[in-house]
């Protein structure tokens, strides 16, 4: 049996290596960071250890009523090494899974290095063709420059985004449609936009608040990139305003071509919300990429007419990142369309968040296993959180940006839209997801047998009065009021 090579011993790479080794495969895990050689570290890493957390010590919500909590439940059924180590390393953090970084890293490192089927090679890989196939690339946003250039050539210049500008995403059920209205410019389109109209006073108040808002400072390893020009198509809203307070009104906030039956005074400007998914359960704030602090974003954006009670599934951010335009470049099993034995796992595949990256590593292990066994491509159930995450980064879409797990990615429940039904709808989404995964495991005996080796019971945290879940900078989540 051919050995499987993996580049990168972060969360995704370590999870993928361990899962494949447990399946009986021989794995060679390549990691450039070496003990005693700080020059081999990335600008963000402080050690040579595996699964080192660099931005946050939270894996996000572990509640039974949240999408991140459901993802963890499913990963437990699949026997996730990283989740098991995280529970061992957990520290009190309210509803979130807070982690002692050193314990997590030590646990994962020993589990991987001591596994008889895993060989760890401490070396830098600079070219894809330096390694045989099958090969999994799990190098994350801080991929070595030489390897990044080789990846760029592999994908013919159509995959790298070095400054990732992300606009907020809003739960459709939380938009006040008594104020906002559906309509495309000049009546062209299929009703993919929701429009929030602003009068002159509201517009300039919004502009002033954005100008004065507290901004998130770049991390040390990002500062060398601060002079990188932004793409015109993903310019931060505050950068637009810096060019002049009227700039957004002649850009993404232009009311031109939008019909609205209200008074003319409310046609001074408009905030457009674009469908984020086919079901229309989530909407993207067009042109509102931002470096504002998260609390500021929620406060300021809820000043927009129609968004007074908006629930943000994801808040805006701008940070150094590198990811593949997966819908265009990868197959459904996250292999390259140009090389079907070259796979991608973790953040580089287009997901946000520590645990989402971990889960992609877990799923890629099963994709590789199926391919080597000559089996039909494995497909996680669409109703599950795992299947929904894969669908989000592989389904065809023109506007693609990294995502973390949220309810808008999961299939909606028919005839249950609106704010009044939100809690019940989510409970049914979770119930359906759990049934789908358990049934899928029961129907796929080989997968179930492999998962059963390390399956464990994931104990959710439960609170009687759940608070809003707010995304944090690395795409995990935190609770707004519970400490």
Residues 340 and 456 in one domain: yes
Residues 174 and 315 in one domain: yes
Residues 209 and 242 in one domain: yes
Q: Which of these three, 273, 299, 320, is where a domain ends?
A: 320
Residues 96 and 130 in one domain: yes
**Which of residues 224 and 206 earns the better pLDDT score?**
206
Residues 305 and 377 in one domain: no
pLDDT of res. 470: 32
The CATH number for 265's domain is: 2.40.30.260
Kind and range of the H or E run holding 201: helix 200-212
Residues 237 and 351 in one domain: no
**pLDDT tens per residue across span 7-63:** 999 999 999 999 999 999 999 999 999 988 888 887 667 789 999 987 667 898 899
Residues 307 and 171 in one domain: yes
Taking CA atoms, 206 is separated from 73, 169, 304, in Å, by: 41, 18, 8
Helix, strand, coil percent values for the chain (each to nearest 5) = 40, 15, 45
Q: Residues of 69-106 as b/e, b for ≥16 C-beta within 10 angstroms?
A: bbbbbbbbbbbbbbbbbbbebbeebbbbbbbbbeebbb
Residues 183 and 45 in one domain: no
Residues 362 and 475 in one domain: yes
The CATH number for 362's domain is: 3.50.50.60
**pLDDT tens per residue across span 72-131:** 999 999 999 999 999 998 886 668 898 888 899 999 999 999 999 999 999 999 999 999
pLDDT of res. 266: 63
The tally of domains found in the chain comes to 2
Residues 178 and 246 in one domain: yes
Q: Vertex 194, ends 475 and 269: CA angle to 5°?
A: 100
* 380, pLDDT greater than 90: yes
Q: Which of these three, 289, 304, 320, is where a domain ends?
A: 320
Domain that includes residue 440, residue range: 4-161+322-479
Residues 348 and 303 in one domain: no
* 200, pLDDT greater than 50: yes
Residues 98 and 171 in one domain: no
Nearest to 354 by CA among 82, 164, 87, 62: 82
Residue 13 and residue 346 in contact, taking contact as beta carbons nearer than 8 Å: yes
Q: Which of these three, 291, 320, 349, is where a domain ends?
A: 320
């Amino acid at each position: 049996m051919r050995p499987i090579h993996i580049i990168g011993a972060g969360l995704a790479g370590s999870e993928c290596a361990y899962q494949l080794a447990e399946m009986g495969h021989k794995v060679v895990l390549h990691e450039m960071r070496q003990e005693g050689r700080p020059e081999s570290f990335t600008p963000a890493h402080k050690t040579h250890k595996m699964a080192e957390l660099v931005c946050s010590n939270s894996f996000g919500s572990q509640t039974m009523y949240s999408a991140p909590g459901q993802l963890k439940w499913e990963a437990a059924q699949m026997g996730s090494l990283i989740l098991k180590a995280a529970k061992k390393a957990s520290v009190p953090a309210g509803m979130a899974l807070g982690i002692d970084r050193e314990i997590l890293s030590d646990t994962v490192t020993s589990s991987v290095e001591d596994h008889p089927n895993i060989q760890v090679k401490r070396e830098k890989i600079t070219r894809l063709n330096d390694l045989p196939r099958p090969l999994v690339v799990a190098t994350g946003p801080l991929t070595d420059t030489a390897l990044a250039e080789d990846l760029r050539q592999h994908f013919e210049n159509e995959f790298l985004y070095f400054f990732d500008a992300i606009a907020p995403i809003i739960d459709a059920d939380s938009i006040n449609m008594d104020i906002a209205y559906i309509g495309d410019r000049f009546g062209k389109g299929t009703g993919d936009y929701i429009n929030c109209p602003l009068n002159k006073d509201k517009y300039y108040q919004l502009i002033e608040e954005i100008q004065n808002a507290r901004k998130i400072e770049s991390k040390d390893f990002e500062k060398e990139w601060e002079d990188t020009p932004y793409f015109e198509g993903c310019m931060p809203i505050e950068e637009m305003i810096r060019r002049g307070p009227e700039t957004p009104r002649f850009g993404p906030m232009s009311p031109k071509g939008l019909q609205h039956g209200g008074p003319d005074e409310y046609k001074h400007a408009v905030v457009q919300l674009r469908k984020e998914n086919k079901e229309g359960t989530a909407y993207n704030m067009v042109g509102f990429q931002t470096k504002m602090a998260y609390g500021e974003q929620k406060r300021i954006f809820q000043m927009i007419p129609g968004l007074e009670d908006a629930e943000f599934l994801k808040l805006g951010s701008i940070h150094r990142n590198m990811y593949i335009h997966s819908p265009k470049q990868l197959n459904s099993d996250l292999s390259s369309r140009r090389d079907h034995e070259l796979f991608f796992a973790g953040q580089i595949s287009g997901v946000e968040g520590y645990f989402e990256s971990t889960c992609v590593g877990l799923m890629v292990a099963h994709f590789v296993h199926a391919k080597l066994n000559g089996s039909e491509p494995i497909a996680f159930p669409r109703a599950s959180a795992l299947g929904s995450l894969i669908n989000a980064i592989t389904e065809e879409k023109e506007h693609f940006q990294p995502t973390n797990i949220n309810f808008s990615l999961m299939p909606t429940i028919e005839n249950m839209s609106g704010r009044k039904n939100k809690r019940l709808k989510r409970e049914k989404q979770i119930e359906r997801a759990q049934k789908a995964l358990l049934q899928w495991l029961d129907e796929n005996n080989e997968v179930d047998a492999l998962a059963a080796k390390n399956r464990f019971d994931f104990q959710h945290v439960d609170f009687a009065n759940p608070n809003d879940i707010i995304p944090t900078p690395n795409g995990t989540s935190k609770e707004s009021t519970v400490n």
